[in-house]
Structure 1
């Protein structure tokens, strides 16, 4: 995106999509639509024989594109969410045809079989996004969505089962800025549970989040970013806990967790990440995603603190992160293009259902 006016920024921070026209909708779909059909380059998980690993398409006939499984899943989520939110999407027919070609009962059965044999595969990040995808199909009141969800349901139920047996049973959280981040997975799973009215899963996620994070205080924000981060561990945790607590309890928690937010080193958390400080292009692209994900966390936390002294501070920081992140997210470099548009859509449509639902 080019330079953003104050009016445009107000629309961006609203989390609503009614300002997004056909031209921008097509821009948001361009990279996900191309990437879900792009088998190579791809991240090879292991070599199990002298013949080498199976082709991605053989191993994962639905989610083989986008370099890795989780990126393919959230790119499918991004395209389906666009079909739900944007009337008369300019490439709706192409999106539908592309997804239809892969989302078949036979292909989904093979995806389920892979998880039967590899229960830790994509734990927890890919699981979280798969449940976001299922929730999106649940929200979209259309025959096409119902058909896709019926086909995907065996994989959805397999992931729910793995979440319950292999993730919510962990004895400690992982506080990192990458795929293993426990708080991000928990808030995605919680959003799914609330969207589809899975009360038992919701109760279990809230219990795990409380056990993991309720006693946290004085988070050392000066340590961020930790490495190849595309999530802020501190803000992602706070974004989870605003879903768990009511406002008074969240105020008490966040004031302990992030005290003296405007004093050093707290100010470092409020500043966008310098994406040009590292010569490694892939790390720089992770930092572009980090600025976008920090923007959605900051805006969401601010929304949960109306009238609190932190709210305007967080809103101003969200604006600066949005300006920086959106100006760099639409790269044609595949290391970024195969996933960044999904993050942009998550941020821009964070108040359109499926994300932090009431």
Structure 2
């Protein structure tokens, strides 16, 4: 993992950024910094008609880069996170200048206009990341963060309302390994609510999580991945529930839901030369790592916790080693996932309620 090699396995999955030096911080942000201003190639998205050739930058004046909207959003999250956590970041001024140019009130108004007649656009994955970005700006005590947060506020409010109106009332969870996964979105939205002190939203997310998952048992994790997954449906659910249930209650729930230690999944291999979509499986290893680490943190000491921590380390090592590809199919998003793993305790992504 070159300059992202921690001193030991415990540090790798601890979710603290204090061991990451300037070179490693620059590696975390190299692809996001380039990607947020890379308009093409771009996912087609919604086509309004045969004459619709609107460039991405006109549709999305802030989040036009990184191939698709949600990746542009979480790449901005990664960049802001890096500015907050790494005061000596070597690309600090370039990052800040780029955000200054994109994240303005005028540009956010253009983003907001896109949602006027598209109330399910990027539900729920992009919504969750937008709120994660807003939370990151809120927790950083810096004049630039305040300025950017003020600019983003109208879109933050709109997405927050859409979460309440068009996501939390859904009558069933989506147990998939891709963007529609309900558990991952609920986790990120819950972290947002707790970070910004939105008690009403926190209660609503907890109620939804309990209604969706409280009675689940016997996770079929051995059948994963189901396709080109970048999230584990089972582990994303467990990572949510350790946020929702207190220690004893979560341990009891986990006993009934997670498989025995000897059937925990091994990291997934990604063969050289596979189609770029296979890089989703690199993201799967990274997201499994943060979920396993979070679950282990919430369990009492013992052989089960030890086995889960060992699985987290194995997934983290494989995922981080393979994440920094120059293939744009992976480079436009994987660095954000690594940042999420390596800094998960640095901004509301860790504690159990």
| 1:329 and 2:323 aligned | yes
- Structure 1: runs of 5+ lacking an equivalent: none
- Alignment-derived partner of residue 82 in structure 2: 82
- Alignment-derived partner of residue 356 in structure 1: 350
CA distance in 2, matches of 1:59, 1:355: 31
- Alignment-derived partner of residue 41 in structure 1: 41
Aligned partners of 1:136 and 1:354 also within 8 Å: no
- Alignment-derived partner of residue 292 in structure 1: 286
- Alignment-derived partner of residue 274 in structure 1: 269
- Alignment-derived partner of residue 120 in structure 2: 120
Q: What's the CA shift string for 1:36-92, capped at 9, x where partnerless? A: 000000001133222233110000000000000000000000000000000121111
What displacement does 1:220 show?
1.2
CA distance in 1, matches of 2:212, 2:273: 36
- Alignment-derived partner of residue 166 in structure 1: 166
Matched residue of 1:293: which SS? helix
Q: What value does the CA root-mean-square deviation take over the aligned residues?
A: 1.5
What displacement does 1:228 show?
1.2
- Alignment-derived partner of residue 187 in structure 1: 187
CA distance in 1, matches of 2:40, 2:5: 38
Aligned partners of 2:138 and 2:149 also within 8 Å: yes
CA distance in 1, matches of 2:9, 2:275: 27
Matches within 5 A, 1:33-182: 33-182=33-182
Aligned partners of 2:35 and 2:332 also within 8 Å: yes
Aligned partners of 1:139 and 1:354 also within 8 Å: no
Q: What's the CA shift string for 1:181-226, capped at 9, x where partnerless? A: 0000000000000000100000000000000000000111121001
TM-score normalized with structure 1 length:
0.95
- Alignment-derived partner of residue 218 in structure 1: 218
Further displaced range: 306-315 or 115-124: 306-315
Matched residue of 2:175: which SS? coil
Matched residue of 1:351: which SS? helix
Further displaced range: 279-288 or 291-300: 279-288
Matched residue of 1:40: which SS? coil
What displacement does 1:4 show?
8.2
Further displaced range: 152-161 or 14-23: 14-23
Aligned partners of 1:46 and 1:53 also within 8 Å: no
CA distance in 1, matches of 2:6, 2:33: 31
- Alignment-derived partner of residue 252 in structure 2: 252
C-alpha spacing 1:207/1:40, structure 2 compared with 1 (3 Å): same
What displacement does 1:249 show?
0.3
Matched residue of 1:26: which SS? helix
CA distance in 1, matches of 2:154, 2:111: 9
TM-score normalized with structure 2 length:
0.97
